[in-house]
């Protein structure tokens, strides 16, 4: 089970916490507003009232034990930056931070924050889907279908589409293979006998339920 520490419960943070909980993830939510914490308490695993920019609060609630922390503060850019740095110093594997504008995004990226996002509601829903799965880097949803991009699973290395029989097993189709970083080539409609290599990315399309099944079992 993946675990996430969601810090700040504005619309973005609240949506993200609910979406991730819906994917069966372990969630800790932190906010100074008791009403917001009470609103989300029955949805998440742990709900903490406190100032997340206080190092002692983060340590006391065990924030460092979570796989990923998402900074969703929206009132103070300086607090957002400070908190992002503190989380990295705590040793959290992945820190995702909300940016309010392009300059803010640039600062966070230069500080080494793993992922920087903007706060639209759709972004929260999309982010929840991507980070709740292993290895998925992007997805597009349309008319009951999903197109996802993900890393080639380790078990596929040296095997072909024919060997894996993906369409029969999962009802999804691999429509493109992007070569390992540095080669920058894309193989559209790959040959079924093509062997997968470590580091390649694949684009997979299918109905929502089939893509979710594929992602949960293989990625």
How far is CA 88 from its chain centroid? 17
Mean pLDDT throughout 171-200? 84
Phi, psi of 144 (to 5 degrees): 85, 5
Q: Domain range spanning residue 76?
A: 3-132
State the pLDDT confidence band at 184, using cuts at 50, 70 and 90: low
Indicate if the pLDDT at residue 49 is higher than 60.
yes
Indicate if the pLDDT at residue 183 is higher than 70.
no
Mean pLDDT throughout 137-144? 79
* Cβ-Cβ contacts under 8 Å for 208 (sequence gap 6 or more): 141, 144, 145, 146
Domain CATH for 107: 3.40.50.720
Residue 97 and residue 30 share a domain: yes
Amino acid 57: pLDDT: 94
Q: How far apart are CA 63 and CA 140, in angstroms?
A: 31
CA angle 133, 137, 139 (to 5 degrees): 85
* Cβ-Cβ contacts under 8 Å for 183 (sequence gap 6 or more): none
Amino acid 182: pLDDT: 54
Residue 150 and residue 113 share a domain: no
Two tokens, residue 191: 């040959």
State the pLDDT confidence band at 146, using cuts at 50, 70 and 90: confident
Residue 82 and residue 110 share a domain: yes
Mean pLDDT throughout 55-65? 94
Amino acid 68: pLDDT: 96
Q: How far apart are CA 166 and CA 156, in angstroms?
A: 11
Residue 51, CA atoms < 13 Å, CB-side half-sphere: 7
Residue 152 and residue 116 share a domain: no
Residue 140 and residue 120 share a domain: no
Q: How far is CA 208 from CA 98, 135, 144, in A?
A: 27, 17, 6
Q: How far apart are CA 58 and CA 28, in angstroms?
A: 11
Among residues 132, 147, 170, the one where a domain terminates is 132
Among residues 111, 132, 153, the one where a domain terminates is 132
Indicate if the pLDDT at residue 92 is higher than 80.
yes
Residue 113 and residue 195 share a domain: no
Residue 113 and residue 9 share a domain: yes
Domains of the chain: total: 2
- CA dihedral in degrees (11, 16, 22, 25; nearest 10)? -140
Residue 111 and residue 98 share a domain: yes
Poorest-confidence range of 8-12, 66-70, 72-76? 72-76
Among residues 83, 102, 132, the one where a domain terminates is 132
Residue 180 and residue 128 share a domain: no
Residue 141 and residue 45 share a domain: no
Amino acid 120: pLDDT: 63
Amino acid 122: pLDDT: 58
Residue 69 and residue 156 share a domain: no
Indicate if the pLDDT at residue 170 is higher than 80.
yes
State the pLDDT confidence band at 216, using cuts at 50, 70 and 90: confident
Residue 196 and residue 168 share a domain: yes
Domain CATH for 201: 3.30.70.1450
Indicate if the pLDDT at residue 130 is higher than 80.
yes
């Amino acid at each position: 089970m993946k675990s996430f520490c969601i810090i700040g419960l504005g619309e973005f943070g609240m949506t993200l916490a609910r979406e991730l909980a819906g994917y069966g993830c372990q969630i800790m939510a932190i906010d100074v507003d008791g009403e917001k914490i009470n609103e989300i308490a029955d949805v998440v695993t742990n709900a903490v009232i406190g100032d997340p920019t206080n190092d002692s609060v983060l340590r006391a609630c065990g924030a460092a034990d979570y796989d990923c922390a998402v900074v969703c503060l929206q009132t103070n850019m300086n607090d957002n930056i400070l908190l992002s740095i503190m989380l990295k110093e705590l040793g959290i594997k992945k820190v995702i931070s909300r940016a309010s504008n392009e300059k803010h995004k640039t600062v966070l990226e230069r500080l080494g924050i793993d992922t920087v996002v903007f706060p639209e509601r759709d972004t929260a829903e999309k982010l929840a889907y991507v980070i709740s799965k292993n290895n998925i880097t992007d997805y597009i949803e349309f008319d009951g279908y999903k197109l996802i991009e993900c890393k080639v699973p380790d078990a596929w290395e040296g095997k072909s589409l024919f060997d894996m029989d993906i369409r029969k097993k999962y009802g999804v189709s691999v429509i493109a293979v992007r070569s390992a970083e540095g080669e920058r080539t894309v193989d559209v409609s790959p040959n079924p006998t093509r062997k997968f290599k470590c580091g390649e990315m694949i684009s997979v399309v299918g109905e929502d339920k089939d893509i979710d099944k594929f992602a949960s079992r293989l990625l």
